[in-house]
């Protein structure tokens, strides 16, 4: 018998222990699966020249993370594809999709996610400040 274990964590997430052996021993490798979609504030903020954008997915999802200027023009796309459930980070180096450094100012970070198994959807935005 091949038994895996799911255990609720104190922060509302789920720990998953996969049985990798055939003798019913459970491995000690755990994956913390978040309870809900989240787009966290980038850090550092303000930033120069790079910033980290943490986000969480409770299920495998198609994710698009994009940066817009205050005029609503898309500057860069940091993620655009299917990602596994879990905690993730995207990095932005203050450059446009074409590799040109952008000017100092306020930028809008957007995240759209759609679960591939469940029909769950998520949209959120944050402001970021690039200082040079």
What tokens appear for 50 in the block? 């790079």
- The predicted model scores a pTM of 0.75
At residue 7, the pLDDT reads 72
- What are the residues whose beta carbons fall under 8 Å from the beta carbon of 49, sequence distance 6 or more? 93, 94, 101
Question: Out of 21-30, 49-58, 86-95, which region has the weakest mean confidence (pLDDT)?
Answer: 21-30
**In this structure, what are the phi and psi dihedrals at residue 72, rounded to the nearest 5 degrees?**
90, 10
| pLDDT confidence bin for 21, thresholds 50/70/90 | low
23 pLDDT more than 70 = no
What tokens appear for 118 in the block? 């469940």
More confident call, 8 vs 110: 110
Q: What is the DSSP letter of 11?
A: T
Query: Is residue 106 within 8 Å of residue 127, measured between CB atoms?
Result: yes
| pLDDT confidence bin for 32, thresholds 50/70/90 | confident
**Alpha carbon separation from 122 to 18, 28, 110 (Å, rounded):** 28, 32, 10
Burial class (CB in 10 A: 0-12, 13-18, 19+), 67: buried
Q: Where are the domains of the chain?
A: 1-33, 35-130
What tokens appear for 123 in the block? 């949209």
What tokens appear for 17 in the block? 């222990």
How many other CB atoms are found less than 10 A from the CB of residue 132? 10
- What are the residues whose beta carbons fall under 8 Å from the beta carbon of 74, sequence distance 6 or more? 66, 67, 68, 97
Which CATH number is associated with domain 35-130?
Answer: 2.60.40.4070
């Amino acid at each position: 018998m091949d038994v895996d274990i799911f255990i609720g964590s104190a922060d509302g997430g789920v720990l998953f222990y996969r049985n990798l052996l055939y003798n019913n021993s459970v491995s000690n490798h755990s994956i913390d699966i978040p309870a809900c979609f989240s787009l966290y504030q980038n850090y550092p903020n303000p930033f120069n020249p790079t910033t980290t954008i943490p986000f969480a997915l409770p299920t495998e999802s198609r994710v698009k993370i994009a940066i817009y200027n205050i005029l609503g023009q898309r500057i860069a796309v940091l993620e655009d594809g299917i990602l596994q459930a879990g905690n993730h980070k995207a990095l932005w180096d203050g450059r446009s999709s074409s590799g040109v450094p952008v000017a100092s100012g306020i930028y809008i970070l957007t995240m759209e996610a759609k679960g591939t198994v469940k029909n769950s959807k998520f949209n959120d935005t944050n402001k970021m400040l690039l200082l040079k």
